[in-house]
Amino acid sequence: MDISNLRKKLTGVGGGFLFAVMALQPPLDVLSYFMNEYGSTLITTALRAVLLFAVFVYGFIVETERRRYLIFGGVIAGFWLLHALNCFRLGYQDPLGDLGEYLKLVQFPLWTLAFTTLLQSCDGLESHISGALAVNFCTVLLVIGLSYLTGSPVYTYDSPSRGVKMGLLGWFSNHNGQSAIVCMLVIGLLLWAYHTRRVWIFTLASALGFTLLYFTGTRLAYYSAMLTALGLCFFVLISGGRMRLCCIPLAAALVLLVLFKGVSIMETRQTLTGESFQICQEPTDEIMGEYKDYVYDSREIPPEIEERITRVYEDVYGGLSFAGGTLLGDLLDRFGTERVMKAYNYTTKATTLYDGRTKKLKAMELLWEEQDAPTRLLGFERSNVAIGPNLYGPENDISALPYYYGYMGFALFIGFIGYIFLPIAISCVKNLQGLGSLLTVDFGAWLMLLVLGLGAGQLSGNVLQNPSASVYLSLAAAELCHITKAYGSGRLRARYERRQGLTIIQSPVIKGGG
């Protein structure tokens, strides 16, 4: 079979292929959860690598101009070679594990490229995409329901030492990553419901989506729910037509979220966190005495105050937490009290010193100070972030990139983000007069999904290097590139239709394949 015939056949089943790829994500997450319970996720990691390869090859075959694939593949492979050589120089401990983590990260650009090809080559593919996200949302609900029916629920926050079991999670391993996934799926669900042109379906979808976000219990889920309601309400309003009635359930959701914020799982969790901080702040204030409000201002610290700060770090934070976890003791042993105090800017506030996310960032900063120039350029492997039995990889995805992949890897990743957003911005500036035809509900939904996903990766974490989360970012990025390209070339226009008693209905129409 020659390549043109194969391309034609693959293009014809592009919609089904993309739908299947997306529908596989929640089952793979559930499988990964149970594999992790047995101590290894090797099988699911291998399955995801195979799926990544299959999608990339599918896009490569369908694509008529393959130069982008060769450039992307060359850059990704070339950087990995340099990174690996540096790791061998330092003494590679786990090359396969490091490669696996790298493949998780590069899934975002590779799948974005493949999805963009599919959208440009396969007519009518847009109709499959939001439906796939709606199916995945229903799958997540089903998994949560099954976890309760089988008597094995998994909670967003589970702390046996404090008797805390809160938040709907289901059989998914990481509450940060799953929270981000649910936020993105809710946007996809609402977009699908909007496409049905039935207000009652949109109302039902809103009720299900915002309820799940509320009871997930994370700050990310709660505030994403509010931003989603506000953002979609804006785009629905400017799109006009009878579907403006969809603003009613969106506004209702927003009001209910505000009214019930005080009794939410998120607020309860924040209260418990505040109590944890207070456990350490009380002995700290006793040691600091009259200097408890001291704030370091870059000037020389008076000896008496410095001695008290040292006691706080060593006596209060040198031991274990009430739950039995390590506070700052391992960092003090590894780097010395003076370096740790300097890294924390000599603060004595429990909100900073007790915070695990901050501790991971400070540990990485201290480790980074010890690295040579090649390592700062190319990064080191993840096993290098181990201090004793504890791993201190930063939870914030973008903040972690310079450490794992150096300044070069970080620059390449930021360059890819620019590759997505810069053409969108340029196209909007060049076609300001017809900007109204671009600002549709579809464009707004995909833009919110991408921005919320990237924001979740930095503020919450476990998104960019979580294949089951970054796949939705790739989908949103591909959709935005496709819509903007059609808009810039004049193939995207607004269709207006008068309805008696109603205002103008506006819906995006993309003519041709791409």
- Asked if the model's pLDDT at residue 511 lies above 50, the reply is no
Decide if pLDDT at 450 tops 80: yes
Average pLDDT over the chain reads 88
Better-scored residue on pLDDT, 179 or 39: 179
**Spatial distance between the Cα atoms of 251 and 247, rounded to a whole number of angstroms:** 6
- β-pairing verdict for 164-168 and 155-159: antiparallel
Q: What is the pLDDT of residue 44?
A: 85
Q: What angle do CA 219, 222, 225 make, to 5 degrees?
A: 140
What pLDDT is recorded for position 503? 40
23, 135 contact by CB (below 8 A): yes
* Structure confidence at residue 204 (pLDDT): 98
The CB density around residue 289, as the number of other CB atoms within 10 Å, is 10
Model confidence at 198: pLDDT above 80: yes
Residue 155: pLDDT over 90: yes
Average pLDDT over residues 231-247: 92
Checking if the pLDDT of 498 tops 60, the result is: no
Is residue 342 over pLDDT 60? yes
Q: Is the pLDDT of residue 212 over 50?
A: yes
Round to whole Å and give the CA distance between 187 and 19: 17
Average pLDDT estimate for 46-75: 89
Of 441, 374, 450, 369, the closest CA to residue 409 belongs to 374
Higher pLDDT, 1 or 430: 430
Q: CA-to-CA distance for 201 and 495, rounded, in angstroms?
A: 23
Count of alpha carbons within 13 angstroms of residue 216, beta-carbon side: 29
- At 320, list the tokens: 């274990």
Average pLDDT over residues 149-160: 89
User: How confident is the model over 386-412, as a mean pLDDT?
Assistant: 90
Return the pLDDT at 495: 36
> Based on the number of CB atoms within 10 Å of its own CB, is 500 exposed (0-12), middle (13-18) or buried (19 or more)?
exposed
The C-alpha atoms of residue 179 and residue 222 are separated, in whole angstroms, by 10
Question: pLDDT for 78-113, tens place per residue?
Answer: 999 999 999 999 999 989 889 988 998 999 999 999
- One-letter identity of residue 233: C
Q: Which two tokens stand for residue 422?
A: 């810069």
Distance CA(448)–CA(233), nearest Å, equals 12
Closest among 332, 281, 328, 284 to 308, alpha carbons compared:
284
Domain extent listing, the chain: 3-263+396-510, 279-376+383-391
Kindly tell me if the per-residue pLDDT of 5 is higher than 60: yes
Q: Which of 162, 178, 160 is nearest to 170 (CA)?
A: 178
The dihedral through the CA atoms of 78, 458, 32, 136 has a sign that is negative
CB burial of residue 60 (10 Å; 0-12, 13-18, 19+):
middle
For residue 505, name the pLDDT band (cuts at 50, 70, 90): very low
Q: Which residues touch 126 (CB under 8 Å, ≥6 apart)? A: 119, 442, 479, 510
Give CA torsion, residues 19, 493, 233, 141, to 10 deg. Answer: -10
- The pLDDT of residue 148 is 95
Average pLDDT over residues 14-26: 88
Average pLDDT for 256-261 = 96
Q: Specify whether the backbone of 506 is left (phi greater than 0), alpha (psi in -120 to 50) or beta.
A: beta
User: Sign of torsion, CA 172 177 180 184?
Assistant: negative
DSSP letter, residue 315:
I
Give the rounded percent of residues in the chain with a pLDDT score beyond 70.
Answer: 93
Beta-carbon contacts of 431 under 8 Å, excluding residues fewer than 6 positions away, are 438, 487, 488
Split at pLDDT 50, 70, 90, the class of 455 is very high
Separation CA 376–CA 6 (nearest Å): 45
Least confidently predicted of 78-82, 159-163, 501-505: 501-505
Q: Where does the pLDDT of residue 127 fall: very low under 50, low under 70, confident under 90, or very high at 90 and above?
A: low
Which amino acid is located at 500 in the chain? Q
The mean pLDDT value for 306-318 works out to: 94
Mean per-residue pLDDT, 189-202? 95
Q: What would the pLDDT profile of 265-289 be if each residue is shown by its tens digit?
A: 999 998 888 888 888 899 999 999 9
Model confidence band, residue 144 (pLDDT cutoffs 50, 70, 90): very high
Residues present in the chain in total = 514
pLDDT at 507 over 50: no
Mean pLDDT of 158-162: 76
Among the listed residues 78, 139, 136, 143, the one whose alpha carbon sits nearest the alpha carbon of residue 106: 78
- The three-state secondary structure class of 309 is helix
Q: Looking at 107-111, 440-444, 502-506, which range is the least confident one? A: 502-506
Confidence band for 488, pLDDT divided at 50, 70 and 90:
low
The yes-or-no verdict on residue 305 having pLDDT over 90 is: yes
Q: Which of 117-131, 330-344, 419-433 has the highest mean pLDDT?
A: 330-344
Least confident of 353-362, 376-385, 422-431, 504-513: 504-513
pLDDT at residue 489, rounded to an integer: 60
pLDDT of 122:
76
The answer to whether 287 and 312 are in contact (CB under 8 A) is yes
User: In this structure, what are the phi and psi dihedrals at residue 510, rounded to the nearest 5 degrees?
Assistant: -110, 120
- If you average pLDDT over residues 52-69, what whole number do you get? 88
The set of long-range contacts for 424-429, using a CB threshold of 8 Å and a minimum separation of 24, is 424/480, 424/481, 424/484, 427/484, 427/485, 427/487, 427/488, 428/484
- Terminal Cα-to-Cα distance of the chain (whole angstroms): 25
Q: How many CB atoms lie within 10 A of CB 93?
A: 13
CA–CA gap between residue 368 and residue 212 (Å, rounded): 40
Tally of CB atoms within 10 A around 281? 19
